[in-house]
Structure 1
């Protein structure tokens, strides 16, 4: 009997250890929600970066390219965020009553207020990448607010955009007209599923 009791105890103990190990490695993080998105500057290489990657992203495509650029340059990411975020309904270009459609039809509505236009330690950045989606052939207008609010004097400015089919067009040169100073370079268009290697190769050409 004692032998059988010892064997049963060993089996139970092994089962408990196995279940505990499986539970700890399940990968289910639903009980710990991810932090909500906030207006922050996220340095990729600490406080010594002289490259800023500022971007407005409506659906996430521009954000992914911006992150690839920041990785390739060791730059600092800065999200250009409207005070009133665009919802999926707002971005329904096929709905004449959607927010973007109304803003497109009435240019007075394109002066979009941002959460902030101020970049901490702005003066230390010598190169600024500016990213945006293309809306009706132009840069998404929340970026206009950011460009008008900052002094780009003494900085090299490199635009980039994302779109499914529309070209860069005159979007970069139109932003340059709104800016206070800066040495604005030719921009680059990326597709919504741009490959990180292609982004890196383009960044290398800018140096």
Structure 2
């Protein structure tokens, strides 16, 4: 069984959790990076005109740099991200659209300063059609992901 830990991190919190978790389980790791990097102003959710708010509300695609090599070889995929408006950031959905999820076990873990997981699994499910398993939860560290 081959495992991939993939993640998007706006400020480094999710990256730290994802990379430590991948090291602990010996999984491959892939960072989801938007073609146009986010600035501090872009992710200021308190500003209704900020980029992150426009993307979330408008359900916009956010182009991703690079692709996962040999995606088909992975049986289990963990997807990490911060919670934005009780959902994954749009760049995560764009990333998911580019792959065949048929039969894969997918575990979405989110870091959050206060929001719950909401309907993240249901929303993500639309983009990973055919996945055998889909579960999602809020985590604060790599151990919480490992103890899933």
Match of 2:126 among 177, 188, 196: 177
CA RMSD of aligned residues (A): 1.6
Q: Which residue of 1 is the match for residue 18 of structure 2?
A: 66
Q: 1:99 to 1:132 in 2, by over 3 A?
A: same
Larger relative CO (CA 8 A, sep 6+): 1 or 2? 2
TM-score by length of 1: 0.66
Give, in angstroms, the shift of residue 167 of structure 1. 1.0
Q: Distance in 1 between matches of 2:56 and 2:146?
A: 33
By how many angstroms is 1:52 displaced?
A: 0.2
Q: Name segments (4+ residues, structure 1) moved above 4 Å.
A: none
Of 53, 67, 89, 1:140 maps to 89
Alignment of 1:104-143 (within 5 A): 104-107=56-59, 110-116=60-66, 118-143=67-92
Take 1:128 and 1:104, find their aligned partners in 2: how far apart are those partners?
24
1:96 to 44, 48, 60: 48
Higher strand content, 1 or 2: 2
How far apart, in 1, do the equivalents of 2:111 and 2:42 lie?
19
Matches within 5 A, 1:1-207: 50-107=2-59, 110-116=60-66, 118-190=67-139, 194-202=140-148
Larger proportion of helix: 1
Asked if structure 1 preserves the Cα contact closer than 8 Å seen for 2:106 and 2:135, the reply is no
Residue 38 of structure 1: aligned partner: none
Alignment gaps of 5+ in structure 1: 1-48, 203-207
- Equivalent residues of 2:30, 2:68 under 8 A apart: yes
Alignment partners' CA distance in 1, 2:46 and 2:40: 12
Q: Is the 8 A contact 1:148 1:180 kept in 2?
A: no
Structure 2 unmatched runs, 5+: none
Pair 1:196–1:122, CA change in 2 (3 A): closer
**Structure 2 length normalisation: TM-score?**
0.91
Shift of 1:105: 3.6
Q: Is the 8 A contact 2:56 2:90 kept in 1?
A: no
